[in-house]
Structure 1
Amino acid sequence: MKKQRSESHSHTYTKSKNSMVKISIVSFLAIGIATSLSLVLSSSPPKSYYHSLYKSNSISDNASISHDLYMLTRRPHVAGTEANAQAAAYVLSTLASYSINSHIVSYDVSLTYPISRSLVLTQPEQASEQLPVVFDLRQEIYDGDPYADAAREVLPSFHAYAKSGTVRGAVVYANYGRVEDFKRLKEMGVNVTESIVLARYGKIYRGDIVNNAFEAGAIGAIVYTDKKDYGGGGDEGWFPEAKWMPPSGVQVGSVYDGAGDPSTPGWPSIQGCERLSDDEVEKQGNVPLIPSLPVSAADGETIMRSVGGQVADAGWQGSKDGPTYRLGPGPGILNLTYTKQFRIFVVVGNHRDPWTFGAVDPNSGTAALLEVARRLMKLEKRGWKPRRTIVLCNWDAEEYGLIGSTEWVEDNRQLLASRAVAYLNVDCAVSGPGFHASATPQLDRLLLKTTRQVDDPENSSQSIYESWVAAPSNSPTVSMHELQMQLSSLELLLAVGEILW
């Protein structure tokens, strides 16, 4: 009984102590609130006081703005790049230093970047003695520019969300690419069908220029920066001596006529969400249906000099030191190629389930897959980024009938159909001497090219390809230790990745 009473007394004391603490806190808050109310009622400064304080240098100065601007602009930082992620981290850390509760929310969106671009100007056969003009499509970097090294990181000039494709057609000049400009061309008897339109920036959105060209029957569009509008009209200098855009300057930007990720209209682009295919995105009507490229004033004038036909109206002419603008079509012919990069998948996988221990089938492949993952992460920590999204898969219930992989594909059918370009499988990385591989016809050349890049671990003086084709059975002639064979398969997988990614 004494023991029970003692425990009860202790328990009661604890409760009483906690209650006292709570009461004291509440009392403290009540006093604080009362004090605050008293201050507000008696001596609250007028709003004008805070307005003047906010604008004064007593709480801050413009030096902080200069520092922030420098930190944010040290490198080019296009959306979705590592440099822009670093800029986001800087903004986050700066806000946190002000005790502002901040965080980053990430979305898995579809952004496009240029893989390849080319623009070649040719003349008709009767002027075949003139060599084709191959445009460099690069902006000039100036000697002595302190940002010259960083400027080399700038993406090649392109239109975001432009359609991939290769087109060839006579040049038609369409002024600013407005609806009324194409109407005027029709009135002048200029046929735009199957042509490549040359239009200039300055009056409407670049995406509308490309779309208007498509509606008029064009198969491609080149949008250039005219000196008349952006170069001081030819009367003044340009950067770095003056404010005007230099002749090599290019206006880049998007031709997407919408808001938000075009593949997820109306819902958030979270990882694994449903997405529209490329064809479905095009049917939405917000992305162009013909290829386009932005070019500089210098390149635009070069193209303009190849255009014949009627002289354009006075309001369609350029700067006074430029060529006479004509309507075409031709005789100059443009060959335009543009290839964009969406968020493309390369899938690498094998299964994990055996019937017994699975040292060969499948876990020699699983071990190789894990090593691929390990090496990729080490590369990423050193600044490497893949050109494609790499998906590493380790399947279950393969032996029962490809169960795990099939269910995953069924669950992600639409995403894989629109984004995946290759699947590399490595169930058995080790299965005795020799090298064996097979592929669908689309990857035959890739497999042959890759084996030429991987040394034979038993004979480093030659490649796996050389050993493979020299063998009577079309396999390497030397017997390889299991560890060496596993390494060979691993190196092959990595080499394939380097080519695809």
Structure 2
Amino acid sequence: MFKTAIATFIPILASSFLLFVPLPKPTYHSLYLSNSLSDNASISHFLYALTRRPHVAGSEANSDAATFVLSTLTSSNIHSHIAHYLVALTLPSSRSLSLTPPPPDPPVNFELRQEIYDGDPYADVADQVVPTFHAYAKSGSVTGPVVYVNYGRVEDYVTLKEMGVNVSGAVVLARCGKIFRGDIVQNADMEGAVGALVYTDRKDYGGERWFPEDKWMPPSGVQVGSVFSGVGDPTTPGWPSTEDCERLNDEEVENGGQVPLIPSLPISAQDGERILRSIGGQVAKVDWQGSKDGPIYRVGPGPGTVNLSYIGKQYIGTIQNVIGVIEGAEEPDRFVILGNHRDAWTFGAADPNSGTATLLEVAQRLGKLQEKGWKPRRTIILCSWDAEEYGLIGSTEWVEDNREMLASRAVAYLNVDTGVCGPGFYASATPQLDGLLKKATQQVQDPDNSSQTIYQSWFGSSNSAEIERLGGGESDFAAFVQHIGIPSAMLSYGSGYPVFHSMYDDFVWMQKFGDPGFHRHVAVASVWGLIALWLADETFLPFNYLSYAEELQKYVKDLEHEISGKDINLTPLFKSIEELENSATKINNQIKVYGPSKHNIYGSKSFPGIEDAIIEAKSLNSRVMEICTA
């Protein structure tokens, strides 16, 4: 009888004891991906809550969004706070645009307004949408003949010069999409134009049907955005924008060369086409033409002339970065940082709040792991940035405010901006993170094809897909990569979408076209969080610098081709890369085989993970038996 009772009691006691023993880290990582923790319904709820009102940086609505993010992180047992900065923001005070076409057509005064669509559930807050404008645009009023400049690239102006077309004194009309809108305006200024209009061409953003019937930009849709080409607060370059900080004046900012010196406005496809119909001169090249049912594009100048007037208001506004911290148990002074910006030009369902909702999903899953006993080895920091749309301001000010600490302690920065805007997985990274991206996508199911992983659909049978490199300043990784040299990555589902930065980027668009079941959001959360867990929990940081060496070899080969025939010796550069490759190979081999046992940090064991697992299993068995036989 006694033996039977003991035999029954031992497994019960063992099960109870195991509830209080932390699981191996890989078990938590697998649990993170399980259906029991992921929740597309909660992501949908997060996105709906975040996008009920337009919430441009500095607004009350964006402050409310910060409060929502803060409370959600806190409810997931993540210690959180708000970091405030006082930064230079701009809004339009007045703007107007009129066209004087050739006779007999009458003058046109454009409304510069995005139209509410039939059944728009956000019609009652449409008046809160910021008027269409370019942030940090030059104030002024200009009049001139119109010249069509295609996408406003340097090569487009070369083509115009070859055609004998001079843009000096003209107002240029450019379609957006190929280069940064700020560069469009800067290029126009460099060529002598007095103003710039940037429109969303139907060939790039439109379709036979448009939102809400289809995904395409409505004819009145306008792509709002900043024309500041720097990062951070333009008045505090290199230092944080705190209450009593020193600031550059307007003249000093303009002399810095990162804000345009001619006025500009973004306009809709329908307004752009109306202006195009007023332009004469030579017919533009075939690849400069628009949609099949549109007008024939000519380059001008004129005879149509426009008057463009824009007056901006600059003010010092308060922005709010929400920072959540899960402290590391063994290396609390080493940081794995995840970030997404929260502010939007309008409703921001895709850009950026698909990423914000995904960040909150990651936080929710990590909170559930903590409830089950998981603690990260290194500290994980979750960041909801503000004022990204103006010029990556929130993230840059935070990096400038914590530069020394982050430069010495940050392990990696993982960014998601527009988390989801359509099908297809995309990733960019510094090379040492390539392996983690591939490994993570091999463990997450493709949300659009349950028979394969994201990796299989991403790379396919031809292995033609690429991990892009983080170069420019298109999102919040910029300060981490370019200012303090932190390994970084950015990921998304979908790349580019028609209603970008317009008032039609709302929850309805996402629900109908971006991600109807919110399963792509779940997939991004899985990949994002899994990489963070590996970086936070692995004893040895899982970087692969062989990828870095291989990437450098590609660049040097390109450089060698460019300088062919010149008396330049690249042998020292090739030798340095070879040394890096040899060192990376040696480190990778040592990490795979040797490492400190958790039970003897001064010693070295072959396959230490296996050794630790054996020791822990023996120890657990001994403790259970001691309790049962006591």
Report the TM-score range of the alignment, normalised by the length of the smaller protein. 0.5 to 0.7
Aligned twin of 2:364: none
**Residues 420-460 of structure 1, C-alpha deviations (whole Å, 9 max, x = no match):** xxxxxxxxxxxxxxxxxxxxxxxxxxxxxxxxxxxxxxxxx
> Matches of 1:263 and 1:102 in 2, distance apart?
28
> Matches of 1:237 and 1:290 in 2, distance apart?
35
> Matches of 1:271 and 1:293 in 2, distance apart?
32
> Matches of 1:61 and 1:142 in 2, distance apart?
31
> Matches of 1:62 and 1:257 in 2, distance apart?
36
Which of 253, 264, 270 is matched with 2:242 structurally? Answer: 270
Which of 308, 312, 336 is matched with 2:284 structurally? Answer: 312
Aligned twin of 1:187: 162
Aligned AA for 1:210?
A: V
Matched, 1:106 2:84: yes
Aligned AA for 1:152?
A: D
Which of 302, 306, 311 is matched with 1:334 structurally? Answer: 306
> Matches of 2:97 and 2:33 in 1, distance apart?
52
Q: TM-score, normalised by structure 1?
A: 0.58
Aligned twin of 1:72: 50
Structure 2 SS opposite 1:217: coil
Aligned twin of 2:74: 96
Give 1:359-370 correspondences, 5 Å limit: none
> Matches of 2:202 and 2:226 in 1, distance apart?
21
Contact kept? 2:89, 2:316, Cα under 8 Å = no
> Matches of 1:45 and 1:96 in 2, distance apart?
24
Structure 2 SS opposite 1:102: strand
**Residues 375-417 of structure 1, C-alpha deviations (whole Å, 9 max, x = no match):** xxxxxxxxxxxxxxxxxxxxxxxxxxxxxxxxxxxxxxxxxxx
Structure 1 SS opposite 2:159: helix
Give 1:383-422 correspondences, 5 Å limit: none
Contact kept? 2:96, 2:309, Cα under 8 Å = yes
Contact kept? 2:100, 2:106, Cα under 8 Å = yes
Give 1:27-426 correspondences, 5 Å limit: 45-123=23-101, 127=103, 129-232=104-207, 236-343=208-315
Contact kept? 2:87, 2:316, Cα under 8 Å = no
Structure 1 SS opposite 2:182: helix
Contact kept? 2:110, 2:271, Cα under 8 Å = yes
Query: How many matched pairs?
Result: 301
Aligned AA for 1:297?
A: A
Could you tell me the percent identity over the aligned residues? 69
Aligned twin of 1:391: none
Higher radius of gyration, 1 or 2: 1
Contact kept? 2:150, 2:175, Cα under 8 Å = yes
> Matches of 2:87 and 2:115 in 1, distance apart?
31
Q: Kindly tell me: are residues 262 and 53 of structure 1, through their superposed partners in 2, closer, same or farther at Cα, counting changes over 3 Å?
A: same
Q: Higher relative contact order by CA 8 Å / sep ≥ 6: 1 or 2?
A: 2
State the Cα distance separating 1:67 from its structure 2 match: 1.3
Give 1:442-481 correspondences, 5 Å limit: none
> Matches of 1:52 and 1:246 in 2, distance apart?
43
State the Cα distance separating 1:150 from its structure 2 match: 1.9
State the Cα distance separating 1:90 from its structure 2 match: 0.7
Structure 1 SS opposite 2:92: strand
Structure 1 SS opposite 2:83: coil
Aligned AA for 2:101?
A: Q
Structure 1 SS opposite 2:128: coil
> Matches of 2:25 and 2:209 in 1, distance apart?
48
> Matches of 2:18 and 2:230 in 1, distance apart?
51
> Matches of 1:344 and 1:69 in 2, distance apart?
29
State the Cα distance separating 1:47 from its structure 2 match: 4.2
Question: Which is richer in strand?
Answer: 2
> Matches of 2:195 and 2:37 in 1, distance apart?
55
> Matches of 2:89 and 2:226 in 1, distance apart?
10
State the Cα distance separating 1:46 from its structure 2 match: 4.5
> Matches of 1:247 and 1:142 in 2, distance apart?
11
Contact kept? 2:141, 2:308, Cα under 8 Å = yes
Q: TM-score, normalised by structure 2?
A: 0.46
State the Cα distance separating 1:191 from its structure 2 match: 1.1
> Matches of 2:133 and 2:302 in 1, distance apart?
24
**Residues 25-80 of structure 1, C-alpha deviations (whole Å, 9 max, x = no match):** xxxxxxxxxxxxx989x986454422331122323522221111111100000011
Structure 1 SS opposite 2:42: helix
Q: Kindly tell me: are residues 217 and 95 of structure 1, through their superposed partners in 2, closer, same or farther at Cα, counting changes over 3 Å?
A: same
Aligned AA for 2:190?
A: E
State the Cα distance separating 1:281 from its structure 2 match: 0.1
Aligned twin of 1:488: none
State the Cα distance separating 1:130 from its structure 2 match: 3.2
> Matches of 1:252 and 1:191 in 2, distance apart?
28
Structure 2 SS opposite 1:342: strand
Structure 2 SS opposite 1:146: coil
Contact kept? 2:86, 2:316, Cα under 8 Å = no
> Matches of 2:22 and 2:65 in 1, distance apart?
40
RMSD over equivalenced CA pairs, Å: 1.9
State the Cα distance separating 1:123 from its structure 2 match: 3.1
Aligned twin of 1:408: none
Aligned AA for 1:143?
A: D
> Matches of 2:198 and 2:148 in 1, distance apart?
10
> Matches of 2:298 and 2:106 in 1, distance apart?
22
